[in-house]
Amino acid sequence: MASELPIGTHLDSDSPANLRAEKLNRHTFWCGQSGSGKTYSLGVMLEQILLNTKLPIVVFDPNSDFVRLGEIRDDATPAAAAELAQRSVHVLHSKPGDGQQLRVRFVDMDIRSRAAVLKLDPIHDAAEYNTMLRVRDIELPARGEPLVDLLRNSDDPAFHSIARRIENLGVVEWDMWAYDDQDVTAVVHSRPDATIVDLGSFEVKEQMQTAALAVLDDLWAHRHDRIGRLIVIDEAHNLCSPSPGTPLEHLLTDRIVQIAAEGRKYGLWLLLSTQRPSKVHPNALSQCDNLALMRMSSAHDLEDLARTFGYAPSELLDRAMTFGQGQALFAGGFTAEPQLVQVGTRLTHEGGSDVAVPLR
């Protein structure tokens, strides 16, 4: 295992470029406009983390871009292919039929998150909210049966209103409840080298948000275990909005901002990837000590970055305007000094590369 992660070649000299694995114990911001190669390049770095470290990775994958991270390309060098083949990449799919499905256990979720799923307010819906606090008691003897059936068949009429709420909101139809299947948090706890939480095929946005929140809440609840983990959130604007609207969005943003502010000492290290700095909450952004910047043609966004990431030299930030695909500036703790890099080639398959225009 090496502390140097080969990431590509230097733009100006063609010499090998590396990142420092030991400085992944910081938060990282990964930024660039659409098509600049963020997801592809992130994949290159994750492959190198898999090859060279024992750092468990959890990827929140809203476009199913990383579902093939365990599948090695034919053109990978035999040595890398043999090494990567020994790593465990556990993919939890949001689409039925693609492999193990992503499952969430409602009764194990944080009470505030459960209330947000059911649109319950602790003051306005005081009675129902209070019943919610007791839902766990009713479910525990009979794991595996649909919760809504247990609630409906309960002798306590208070539970019937929760059952109605679950049905009325359509939550019962979300094809992701665990019943007696293994849920996503159990997979994360089993500590594969990488867990891919595929969020790409859910019918409604709330499902994606609920699944992500279940995992983030659980990681936070177990923070005292102090297991170093890299928590990768691609398209981070989905989960860490600067202007959350719904209760679920508030909880997600609050949780990520909390992990950004306090998670480092517990070994919860974020990697947030998005197109523009203004798309994620500033209190998460300001905690990032590592920056990967890909093509960015907006002068305004570059000024934002210069303000937030004082450690990135402005003359190098400006080069981002002329970057081609796969070119990046790395700055901050995970690089010995700021460097301009042509990111290397993937060793594993991309999940969802661009759709090609059909030609005649």
Ligand X SMILES: Nc1ncnc2c1ncn2[C@@H]1O[C@H](COP(=O)(O)OP(=O)(O)OP(=O)(O)O)[C@@H](O)[C@H]1O
Q: To the nearest 10°, the Cα dihedral for 283, 284, 286, 287?
A: 120
Nearer to ligand X, 65 or 139 (CB): 65
What token pair was written down for 40?
Answer: 């592809």
> Should residue 35 be labelled a site residue for ligand X when binding is judged by CB under 6 A?
yes
Q: Which stretch binds ligand X (CB under 6 A): 130-138, 279-287, 303-311, 349-357?
A: 349-357
325 binds, among ligand X, Mg ion, none (CB under 5 to 8 A by kind): ligand X
- Cβ density class 2-35: b for 16+ within 10 Å, e for less: eeebbbbeebeeeeebbbbbebbbbbbbbbbbee
- How far, in Å, are 96, 127, 197, 207 from residue 213 at the CA level? 21, 25, 11, 10
CB 160 within 8 A of CB 167: no
Termini Cα distance of the chain: 49
State which of residues 1, 13, 14, 34 lies at the interface with ligand X (CB under 6 A). Answer: 34
Pairing of strands 229-233, 57-61: parallel
100: tokens are 């193990």
Q: Does 238 bind Mg ion (CB under 5 A)?
A: no
Find tokens 């109605």 and name the residue: 164
Nearest to 289 by CA among 19, 6, 18: 19
Query: Considering the rule CB under 5 A, would residue 274 count as an interface residue with Mg ion?
Result: no
Binder among 337, 354, 357, 358 for ligand X (CB under 6 A): 354
Choices 31-39, 100-108, 183-191, 214-222; region in contact with ligand X by CB under 6 A: 31-39
Applying CB under 6 A, the span of 17-25, 34-42, 261-269, 306-314 interacting with ligand X comes to 34-42
User: Which of the stretches 155-163, 262-270, 301-309, 350-358 binds ligand X when contact is defined by CB under 6 A?
Assistant: 350-358
Tell me: does residue 32 bind ligand X (CB under 6 A): yes
Tell me how far, at minimum, the Cβ of 350 lies from ligand X, in Å.
5
- Helix (H/G/I), strand (E/B), else coil: 158: helix
Picked from ligand X, Mg ion, none, the partner binding residue 35 (CB below 5 to 8 A depending on kind) is ligand X
CB of 179 to ligand X, least distance (A): 34
**Contact code string over 310-339 relative to ligand X, x by CB under 6 A:** ---------------xx-------------
Q: Residue 330 burial by CB count (10 A; 0-12/13-18/19+): exposed, middle or buried?
A: buried
Binds 108, which of ligand X, Mg ion, none (CB < 5 to 8 A, cut-off by type)?
Answer: none
Structural contact between residues 120 and 251, judged by C-beta atoms closer than 8 angstroms: no
The site string for ligand X over 36-55 (x = CB under 6 A, - otherwise) reads xxxxx---------------
The residue of the chain with the least Cβ separation from Mg ion equals: 39
Q: Which x/- pattern over 266-305 shows residues binding ligand X (rule: CB under 6 A)?
A: ---------x------------------------------
List, in order, residues 6 or more apart from 181 with CB less than 8 Å away.
101, 103
CB of 8 to ligand X, least distance (A): 8
Q: How far apart are CA 322 and CA 296, in angstroms?
A: 8
Residue 343 interacting entry, from Mg ion, ligand X, none, C-beta within 5 to 8 Å by type: ligand X
28 binds, among Mg ion, ligand X, none (CB under 5 to 8 A by kind): none
Q: 234-244 burial, b if ≥16 CB within 10 A, otherwise e?
A: bbbbbbbbeeb
User: Smaller CB distance to ligand X: residue 39 or 94?
Assistant: 39
**Where does residue 265 rank: exposed (0-12), middle (13-18), buried (19+ CB within 10 A)?**
exposed
Where in 34-93 is the site for Mg ion (CB under 5 A)? 38-39
The binder of ligand X chosen from 108, 167, 175, 350 (CB under 6 A): 350
Residues in a beta bridge with 30: 273, 292
Binding stretches for Mg ion (CB under 5 A): 38-39
Binding stretches for ligand X (CB under 6 A): 32, 34-40, 275, 325-326, 343, 350, 353-354
